[in-house]
Amino acid sequence: MTMASDSGNLPGADAAPEDLRTATRQTSVYVYEAPLRIWHWINAAAIFVLCLTGYFIGSPPPSMQIAEATHQFVFGYIRFAHFAAGLILTVGFLGRIYWAIFGNHHARQLFYLPIFNGRWWSEVWFEIKWYLFLERAPKKYVGHNPLAQLAMFFFITLGVSFMIVTGLALYSEGLGHDSTLYTLFGWVFTVVGGNSHVVHTLHHLGMWWIVIFMIIHIYVAIREDIMSRQSIVSTMISGHRTFKDDRPD
Amino acid sequence: MSQIETFYDVMRRQGITRRSFMKYCSLTASALGLGPAFVPKIVHAMETKPRTPVIWVNGLECTCCSESFIRGSHPLAKDVVLSMISLDYSHTLMAAAGHAAEAALEETIQQYKGNYILAVEGNPPLNEDGMYCIVGGKPFVEQLRHAAKDAKAIISWGACASYGCVQAAKPNPTQATPVHKVITDKPIIKVPGCPPIAEVMTGVITYMLTFDRLPELDRQGRPAMFYGQRIHDKCYRRPHFDAGQFVEQWDDENARKGYCLYKVGCKGPTTYNACSTVRWNEGTSFPIQSGHGCIGCSEDGFWDQGSFYNRVTDLTQFGVEANADQVGLAAAGVVGAGVAVHAAVSALKSAQKKTQGQSMSQNEEV
């Protein structure tokens, strides 16, 4: 009620008195530029396809008898989708690194942890307490909060890098030992002791690492969108971080 | 060295015709992936080069490499390879035994210092100062080091010498150690497999004798010509793999139809060997052709890669046996349950806050 009388411009022509009770004025900051947002959603789609097809590559679906083997390519298509999505993810990740260099400073958060900054660590601890219901209200952040930044770094920056490297190594086996890709990534097999089956197993575990991230990420994004003092989900769509109150920090 | 007969001399002496000899040379050339232009080179080498002395030592092993080797199926290889190389010391194949055999070993080492090839079958156990494998009253590791010192090159026969094989499988009580981790100052060529294919063994030796150098080796030290591709890459059941037609159970209709064995644990996609091209027993068959998946016997640590019958291997690091999916699903389940509980508590908390807020504002109004 106070809002409406203070501002003079009504929130909308159809605003009822009970709507006006919850009306607030929101500040917003442009955080995530278009290339970063596009990367986020392409990356999300690629990861979805990769997890699904990757699982099937480890445990194929029931045998199908559609046509003669020569004319049937079911498992081939599953593997093709996996490789295509994997290469899209790889190119996207390289683009993301480019954008970390040439984009705004928020684009660098994924690749840099201020681990020598004591205040940063105390804010990580604050966020942990917020998730343990020990703090009444969360802090406001324009970019990622420190705990989110930490999680993004380990799950996405390191996790996706690991999946790209092991994935390209496995893919290079199909191309052959004389391929450029094998020359570039053959060392992966040496590191694990020589047997490429070990790389398959690690790549498989990596998938679950990413799945665990997805569960936490989606939950936390929705939860914080509702419970925190700022927008989360729409920020990755519009690029704007809006704050629900004007109290500092 | 000049007194030693050439390969050709030996072959002729054994009653092999020149025609058969030429056939052998061209077969060998094609087996090695060489063009027809190389046939005269092989012929020339065979006619002029003295036989290369080979010392064949046996450590911890099962002799399956020797068994495979003597079954070399090229018409002549079977008869000739043993004469072609001058196999001066080999427990299994030599007539001499005991002190006479050990004397032959010493004599060969002394006479051909720096010129003989050391073929190692099996590996040395290093635990308890090597006491788990005794040859001629001494630990095998000592014989290996002694014979390796003056060798021109070393061939590691089989998975044992190359990687350790079953005796090096976890927990490896005797500390069985592959040859390249004991001998570090000699060129070593690994010919893994349990056993390696006979034609691969003879092919490697022939290449070394003909060209007087090691064949091109891959990243792991295996001859690229035989270990450059996976079983999977040349598997005749590959169309069923791409089609998504798999043997689901050992006795099902798909097994009878000869579908892909991927789902019942075939390790073809991760195994580098020539089985699907060269095949076994004079090119008769190979495991997949006879209906059983590849067990990956020519890969490093294949005994520790879980069951032969699972694609997704068991991980024993977690105390209980579970594969990547079970571990991942358990972790994701715990996280998912945690998220659900956390969401519920969050909802309750915020509801509580709202009621408190409402009662507060009501109080204010009052």
Map out the domains of chain A with their CATH numbers. Answer: 34-63+71-239 (1.20.950.20)
- Identify whether residues B205 and B336 lie together within a single domain: no
Q: Judge whether A49 and A82 are in contact, CB under 8 Å.
A: yes
B330 touches chain A (CB under 8 A): no
Q: CA of A177: which chain B residue's CA is closest? A: B228
Nearest to B273 by CA among B321, B225, B335, B324: B225
CB contacts < 8 A (A, B): 138
B257 within a domain of the structure (yes/no): no
Give the pLDDT confidence score for residue A1 in this predicted structure.
Answer: 41
Q: Which two tokens stand for residue A43?
A: 């990356």
Residues B38 and B46: their CA atoms lie apart, in Å, by: 12
- Nearest Cα of chain B lies from the Cα of A212 at a distance, in angstroms, of 5
Tokens read off for B120 = 């190692």
Contact status of A216 with chain B (Cβ, < 8 Å): yes
Pair B178, B144: CB distance under 8 Å: no
User: Residue A32 and residue A110: Cα distance in Å, rounded?
Assistant: 12
Residues B73 and B214 both lie in one domain: yes
Q: Residues of B with CB below 8 A from A62's CB? A: 248
User: What's the start-to-end Cα distance of chain A, in Å?
Assistant: 25
Structure tokens at A19: 């709507």
Non-local CB neighbours of A105 within 8 Å, separated by 6+ positions: none
B163/A78 Cβ within 8 A: no
Interface test with A, best of B225, B238, B325, B345 (most A CBs within 10 A): B325
And the tokens for A46?
């690629």
Least confident of A31-40, A114-123, B35-44, B339-348: B35-44
Q: What is the pLDDT of residue A63?
A: 93
Q: Please give, rounded to a whole number of angstroms, the shortest distance from the CA of A196 to a CA of chain B.
A: 6
Per-residue pLDDT at A6 exceeds 60: no
What is the pLDDT at residue A95? 97
CA dist B32 and B224 (Å) reads 10
Q: Which residue of A has its CA nearest to B218?
A: A177
**Prediction ipTM score:** 0.87
Which tens digits make up the pLDDT trace of A93-109? 999 999 999 999 999 99
- Peptide bond preceding B173 in cis form (omega within 30 of 0): no
The whole-number pLDDT of residue A7 equals 46
Q: Residue B268: closest CA among chain A residues belongs to which residue? A: A197
For chain B, the C-alpha Rg in angstroms (whole number) is 29
Does residue A26 belong to the interface with chain B, where contact is any CB pair within 8 Å?
A: no
Q: Does A190 touch chain B (CB under 8 A)?
A: yes
B277 burial type by CB count under 10 A (0-12 exposed, 13-18 middle, 19+ buried): middle
Q: Are residues B195 and B82 located together in one domain of the fold? A: yes
What's the pLDDT score for residue A103? Answer: 94
Rounded to an integer, what is the distance from CA A232 to the centroid of its chain?
13
Enumerate the residues of chain B whose CB falls inside 8 A of the CB of residue A194: 163, 220, 299-301
Residue B177 and residue B60 share a domain: yes
B219 and B346 inside one domain = no
Distance CA A85, CA A241 (A): 30
Q: Which of B141, B120, B24, B122 is nearest to B80 (CA)?
A: B24
CA distance B296 to A166: 20
- Rounded Cα gap, residues B121 and B118, in angstroms: 10
**Is the same domain home to B338 and B218?**
no
Residue B361: domain span: 323-365
Of B181, B198, B227, the last residue of a domain is B227
Question: Is B270–A195 a contact, with Cβ atoms under 8 angstroms apart?
Answer: yes
Could you give the angle at the alpha carbon of A209 between the alpha carbons of A207 and A215, nearest 5°? 100
What is the amino acid identity at position B15? G
Last residue of a domain, which of B174, B201, B227?
B227
Tokens encoding B15: 């009653």
In this prediction, the residues of chain B whose per-residue pLDDT falls under 50 are 1-2, 75, 366
Domain-embedded: residue B246: no
Residue with tokens 């002029």: B48
Strands A27-30 and B117-121, bridge-based pairing: unpaired
Q: Of the candidates B237, B235, B234, which has an alpha carbon nearest to the alpha carbon of residue B247? A: B237
Shared domain for B329 and B209, answered yes or no, is no
Please answer yes or no on whether A58 and B324 come within 8 Å at the CB atom: yes
Assigned token pair, A191? 């590191």
pTM beyond cutoff 0.80: yes
Interchain proximity A197–B327, CB inside 8 Å? no
pLDDT of residue B124: 96
Question: A174 to each of A167, A199, A246, B231, B301, how far by Cα in Å?
Answer: 11, 14, 57, 11, 21
Report the candidate in B160, B146, B148, B218 with the shortest Cα–Cα distance to residue B189.
B218
Both B219 and B340 in one domain: the answer is no
Mean pLDDT of A36-42: 97
Q: What CATH number is given to the structural domain containing B34?
A: 3.40.50.700
Is B312 touching A (CB cutoff 8 A)?
Answer: yes
Non-local CB neighbours of B345 within 8 Å, separated by 6+ positions: A133
Distance in Å, alpha carbon of B340 to nearest chain A alpha carbon: 9
Where do we find the tokens 């092993």?
Answer: B61
Within a domain: B63: yes
Residue A60, pLDDT score: 94
Q: Given an 8 Å threshold on Cβ–Cβ distance, is A205 in contact with B327? A: yes
3-state secondary structure chain B: CCCCCEHHHHHHHCCCCHHHHHHHHHHHHHHCCCCCCHHHHHHHHHHHCECCEEEEEECECCCHHHHHHCCCCCCCHHHHHHHHCEEEEECCCCCCCHHHHHHHHHHHHHHCCCCCEEEEECECECHHHHCCCEECCEEHHHHHHHHHHCCCEEEEEHHHHHCCHHHHCCCCCCCECCHHHCCCCCCEEEECCCCCCHHHHHHHHHHHHHHCCCCCECCCCCEHHHHCCECHHHCCCHHHHHHCCECCCCCCHHHHHCCECHHHCCCHHHCECCHHHHCECCCCECCCCCCCCCCCCCCCCHHHCCCCCCCCCEECCCCCCEEHHHHHHHHHHHHHHHHHHHHHHHHHHHHHHHHHHHHHHHHHHC
Last residue of a domain, one of B170, B192, B227: B227
Quote the CA–CA distance of A205 and A172 in Å, as a whole number. 20
DSSP character string of chain A: -HHHHHH-S-S-TT--HHHHHT----EEEE-S-HHHHHHHHHHHHHHHHHHHHHHHHHSPPPP--SS-GGG--HHHHHHHHHHHHHHHHHHHHHHHHHHHHHS-GGGGGGG---TT-HHHHHHHHHHHHHHTT-SSSPPP-SS--HHHHHHHIIIIIIHHHHHHHHHHHHHHHHH-TTSHHHHHHTHHHHHTTS-HHHHHHHHHHHHHHHHHHHHHHHHHHHHHHHHSSB--TTHHHHSEEEES-----
Do both B342 and B213 map to the same domain? no
pLDDT tier at A198, thresholds 50, 70, 90: very high
Pairing of strands A240-243, B86-90: unpaired
Contact (CB<8Å) A208/B329: yes
Residues 6+ apart with CB under 8 A from B303: B165, B166, B168, B169, B170
Higher pLDDT, B305 or A212: A212
Per-residue model confidence (pLDDT) at position A4: 42
Q: Are residues B65 and B184 in the same domain?
A: yes
Share of chain A above pLDDT 70, in %: 96
Interchain pair B242, A216: CB under 8 A: no
Q: Which one of B234, B271, B304, B311 would you mutate to disrupt binding with A, by most A Cβ within 10 Å of its Cβ? A: B311
**Which of B80, B346, B355, B47 minimizes the C-alpha distance to B205?**
B80
| B57 and B193 both lie in a single domain | yes
Supply the pLDDT for residue B96: 77
Tokens found for residue B289: 């052709």
- Using CA atoms, how far apart are residues B207 and B241, in angstroms rounded to an integer? 35
Of B239, B328, B346, the CB nearest to A211: B328
**Is residue B24, in this structure, part of any structural domain at all?**
yes
Res B248: pLDDT: 94
pLDDT of residue B10: 76
* Structural domain total, chain B: 2
B316 occurs within a structural domain: no
Chain B residues 137-176 within an 8 A CB cutoff of chain A: 163
Task: Tell me if B294 is assigned to some domain.
Answer: no
Q: Is residue B170 part of a domain?
A: yes
Please give the structure tokens belonging to residue B295. Answer: 């067990």
Q: Pick the residue of B162, B227, B232, B242 with the most A CBs within 10 A to test the interface with A by mutation.
A: B242
**pLDDT confidence of residue B46:** 79
Do residue B177 and residue B29 come from a single domain? Answer: yes
Instruction: Tell me whether residue B285 is in a domain.
Output: no
Q: How many CA atoms lie within 13 A of B200 on its CB side?
A: 34
